[in-house]
Chains A and B, each alone.
Chain A
């Protein structure tokens, strides 16, 4: 059963294609089911008696939940509301396609998309910061994508925090934040329980600030945790904003890096949901790097694919990433910088010949002599 809110949004989107031009999936696949109107139409047809079968469910997962459609809507409708509920519905009706079932099972059983055990995650965290302080003013929340798929970013960030003499620690028992599971099974009891557990663990550190490396996790902590009743007794700050602050305060003094024809890919959760577009640009500027902007930039950024899509449909994930690389190539960029572990991993799978791919924190660590 869809909520009244989801039905309202679906019924308004079902005959409206206006946001199609900004959908990173539909633009790449050309499939008519890959736009918000199609998904709204399918939800509305289910409400009018059509069967919600596996093909309907599969369609609902061919979406990054990047929010570009909501950003574009002049009358305020938000397709992710009914798409996320349709994913819950797919689980309730037991019609999940096999490729999605695999990652849903991983999330439910292991707490992450990749099926990595919690012991292995703890070991990765212990290696990142051996002998961590039990208490600190700042808690660095790394997130599972960075830990498992892009550990070099976590290492760079930790190096930068040390260099700036930040009093920080990490949580060895980092688990499921609710970000990934919320996108795969919806905002249901399992998601909220996971988020509450995580909030409780974070609170044991007693930090004043929680610096979150993964923008997807930061968004959920900042925007969904209060709604779900998961109170974190600290300020949630994105890693980009925190590091930009360290540079502004003179605690980090990066050297100039000689890079030409550089573009910056705004992570969609950071730019659209958290309204944060400038700290990453400030960090690049601090290294003397001039940005050649892609046509779709800042809050109009085009999603590069997401870890979730890559996990259940690798070919589709690569196709979406390829679309973003195309945007960079057309403006004559030679390098792309990202500021999100998910973007780094997803974009890294299909770097076009002759182009280079960097993570913002790794670049900065190099510029700071880490």
Chain B
């Protein structure tokens, strides 16, 4: 024990030597706070007063150079490094399951440059995304990345799990928005991806690290594209008889126009969440659409959208409900509106081509509702492409088992059942929340032999396996 204590103190001293003693903590309050993220399991543990998974050292570096030195120390001692940005991920991706170092990036929060000519913005990845958006807004621009976690996640967090914002249908996902990055590799080398993302110089390095969830390195700087604020942003809502009609309309709209927001709610969500938050008391499938840009172009898009919705029997609810949805776009996620413990719940978001979307929706709904009595299934479809859409499907169990182990086993079973139903029908393991601890076990089923590509990357870049163990199935 004494020898172990000596090494614990030795590692602590080395870390303090790198970042300063004010920025290394082993205190109970800090390790408690870093032991609970947005993942249902960690919340359930906290709710039951259980001991959270604790990192041995909370380390808060100030620069890529300090990150580099920390990773060199971690490699020497072969101790795990879990990267924590906002901690607001729902997949347990930041949880310090293996102890060791928890590296909080939030001190790396400097704005590096706003290039108004090239329309780009560069910042360190520990910055809260809303702060980055505020900086862009100060100059009259926007990043147009408005996820529900905009105010609480970091730039690095958005990149690490391939995040998405509500305006993605027009402006793209985070992986479309990122121009270039600085990354600290597990061996401590600091690298830069190419200055632009479109080229013919081999595979895109950005896309190797975006979505890697801290398993292949730590992103420390990123450049994103900026957008001008739209001249007009118009909102509209419709009510379809059922989701089938809504899908038809959505698919057709994507061939003619480029709305920024298009969200179709199934009948169950329409009579529950939409009624609760927006007050729309109607049966059917609620859809809200936002279109924006230059006034003349928006007018043409609006004409097409109205025509298409009319064609599929969509009742035009006017602009009021669409505006109300936009005003309340984050309200849905505040305490009192969002699911919370002691309920058991999860968002099994998937994405697929139009051909498979209804098939997957019904397969998942049937699989969940028929196998797990007392579990509700609700869904909406909120990020659309020319070729398909994503399904934001959620399960909710109001009265889960009180025993934590039993509850976790049931939780995993529900997830396996739902995600497998999606994958078997042409869906993808996850659309925009990432894999983390929650879904790692299903990655090999998703990728099959293609998983060896990720395995080789992991082995090559992180031979000691120190980076975010048990996450992403790596």
Interfacial chain A residues near B104, Cβ < 8 Å: 30-32
Bound Cα distance from A48 to B51, whole angstroms: 10
Query: Quick check: is B86 within 8 A (CB to CB) of the other chain?
Result: yes
Say if the beta carbon of A75 comes within 8 Å of chain B.
Answer: yes
A51: chain B residues at CB < 8 Å are: 28
Known A32-B87, A32-B104; judge A20-B128 contact (CB<8 A). Answer: yes
Complex interface: chain A residues within 8 A of B340 (CB): 15
Digit string of A30-50 for contact with B (CB within 8 Å is 1, else 0)? 111100001001101100111
Check if B373 is an interface residue, CB within 8 A of chain A. no
In the assembled complex, A14 has its CB within 8 A of some CB on chain B = yes
Near B by CB (< 8 A), chain A positions 52-70 give 53, 55-56, 58-59
Would you call A30 and B109 a contact (CB within 8 A)?
A: yes
Closest B-chain residue to A12, C-beta based?
B335
| Among B32, B138, B330, B331, contact of A331 (Cβ-Cβ < 8 Å) | B138
B29 touches A30 (CB 8 A): no
B33 & A38 in contact (Cβ 8 Å cutoff): yes
A27 at the interface (CB under 8 A from B): yes
Instruction: Judge whether B46 and A55 touch: CB under 8 Å.
Output: no
- Across the interface, B27 reaches (CB within 8 A) one of A18, A29, A55, namely A55
Q: CB-defined interface of A7-35 with B at 8 Å, one 1/0 digit per residue?
A: 00000111111111110001101111100
Across the interface, name the chain A residue whose C-beta is closest to B150.
A21
The answer to whether A41 touches B49 (Cβ under 8 A) is: no
Residues of B in contact, count (CB < 8 Å): 49
The answer for the CA separation of A19 and B334 in the assembled complex, in Å, is 10
Q: CB within 8 A of A32: which of B28, B30, B130?
A: B30
The listed residue (B27, B38, B126, B135) touching A30 by CB distance below 8 A is B126
CB pair A15 B49 closer than 8 Å = no
Residue in A18, A26, A33, A53 whose beta carbon sits within 8 Å of that of B330 in the complex: A18
**Which residues of B (128-156) have their CB < 8 Å from a CB of A?**
128, 130-131, 134-135, 137-138, 149-152
Contact string against A for B residues 18-46, beta-carbon threshold 8 Å, 1 for contact and 0 otherwise: 00000000011110111010100001001
Pair A18/B152 contact, Cβ less than 8 Å: yes
Which residues does chain A contribute within 8 Å of B333, judged by CB atoms?
18
Q: CB-nearest residue of chain A relative to B340? A: A15
Q: Which of B29, B49, B109, B138 has the most CB of A within 10 A?
A: B29
Min CB distance, A319 to chain B, in Å? 11
In the complex, how many residue pairs between chain A and chain B have their CB atoms under 8 Å apart? 120
Contact check, A14 vs B126: say whether CB atoms are below 8 A apart.
no
Interchain CB contact under 8 A, A53 and B29: yes
Question: Which B residues are CB-close (under 8 A) to A13?
Answer: 335
In the complex, residue of chain B having the shortest beta-carbon distance to the beta carbon of A51? B28
**B471 at interface (Cβ–Cβ under 8 A)?**
no
| Docked pose: A55 CA to B108 CA in angstroms | 24
Q: Which residue of B lies closest to A22 (CB)?
A: B151
Max chain B C-beta neighbours (<10 A), residue from A16, A77, A295, A296: A16
Interface size on A, residues (CB 8 A): 41
Determine the chain A residues whose CB is within 8 A of the CB of B138 once the complex forms.
Answer: 295, 330-331
The interface residues of chain A lying within 8 Å CB-to-CB of B128 are: 20-21, 27
B60 near A30: Cβ-Cβ < 8 Å: yes
Q: Is B365 an interface residue (CB 8 A)?
A: no
Decide: A15 near B36, CB < 8 A? Known: A30-B106, A330-B135. Answer: yes
Partner of A12, one of B34, B60, B152, B336: B336
Chain A hits for B33, CB < 8 A: 32-33, 38, 41-42
B48 within 8 A of A: yes
Q: Whole-angstrom distance between the alpha carbons of A22 and B131 in the complex?
A: 9
Is residue B107 within 8 Å, beta carbon to beta carbon, of the partner chain? yes
**A74 at the B interface (CB under 8 A):** yes
Return the chain B residue nearest A315 by Cβ.
B22
> For the complex, what is the distance from the CA of A330 to the CA of B134, rounded to whole Å?
11
- Give Cα A54–Cα B433 distance, bound, in whole angstroms: 36
Residues of chain A contacted by B152 (CB below 8 angstroms): 17-18, 20-21
Docked-complex contact B60 and A31, CB < 8 angstroms: yes
Cα(A19)–Cα(B333), bound, Å: 12
Say whether A200 faces chain B, with CB atoms less than 8 Å apart: no
CB-CB < 8 A to B108: which residues of A? 30
Q: How far apart are A13's CB and chain B's nearest CB, in angstroms? A: 7
Contact of B36 among A22, A29, A41, A77 (CB under 8 A): A41
Question: Considering the chains assembled together, what is the distance between the CA atoms of A21 and B84 in angstroms?
Answer: 16
Q: Residue B46 contacts which of A26, A41, A59 (CB distance < 8 angstroms)? A: A41
B416 within 8 A of A: no
Evaluate contact between A295 and B137: CB separation under 8 angstroms: yes
Question: What 1/0 flags go to A71-107 for Cβ under 8 Å of B?
Answer: 0111101000000000000000000000000000000
Closest to A38 in B: B33
Nearest CB on A from B218, distance (A): 15
Beta-carbon contact of B43 and A15 below 8 Å: yes
With A and B bound together, what is the CA distance between A19 and B152 in angstroms?
7
Given the interface pairs A45-B49, A331-B138, the reply to whether A18 lies near B29 with Cβ below 8 Å is no
Please indicate the chain B residues that have their CB under 8 angstroms from the CB of A50 in the complex.
28, 32, 49
A29 cross-chain contacts in B, Cβ below 8 A? 107
User: Nearest Cβ in chain B — how far from A5, in angstroms?
Assistant: 15
Residue of B nearest to A35 (CB): B152
In the complex with contacts A17-B88, A55-B29, A45-B335 CB distance below 8 A: no
In the complex, A38→B58 CA distance in Å?
Answer: 15
CA distance A51 to B32 in the complex (A): 11
Q: Tell which of B104, B135, B151, B335 has the most Cβ of chain A within 10 Å.
A: B335
B34 touches A32 (CB 8 A): yes
The residue on B at minimum CB distance from A30 is B106
Among B30, B84, B105, B130, contact of A33 (Cβ-Cβ < 8 Å): B30
Asked if A21 and B36 make an inter-chain contact with CB atoms under 8 angstroms apart, the answer reads: no
| A residues less than 8 Å from B111 (CB atoms) | 330
**CB distance B151 to A18 under 8 Å?**
yes
A-B contact pairs, 9 of them (CB 8 A): A15-B43, A32-B30, A32-B33, A33-B33, A48-B46, A48-B48, A55-B27, A75-B336, A330-B135
Interface residues of B (CB under 8 A from A): 27-30, 32-34, 36, 38, 43, 46-49, 58, 60, 84, 86-88, 104-109, 111, 126, 128, 130-131, 134-135, 137-138, 149-152, 328, 330-331, 333-337, 340-341
A-B pairs, top 10 by smallest CB distance, nearest first, are A48-B49, A30-B106, A17-B152, A21-B130, A55-B27, A12-B335, A55-B29, A30-B107, A21-B151, A75-B334
Known: A32-B84, A33-B33. 5 other contacts (CB 8 A): A16-B334, A17-B151, A29-B107, A44-B47, A296-B134
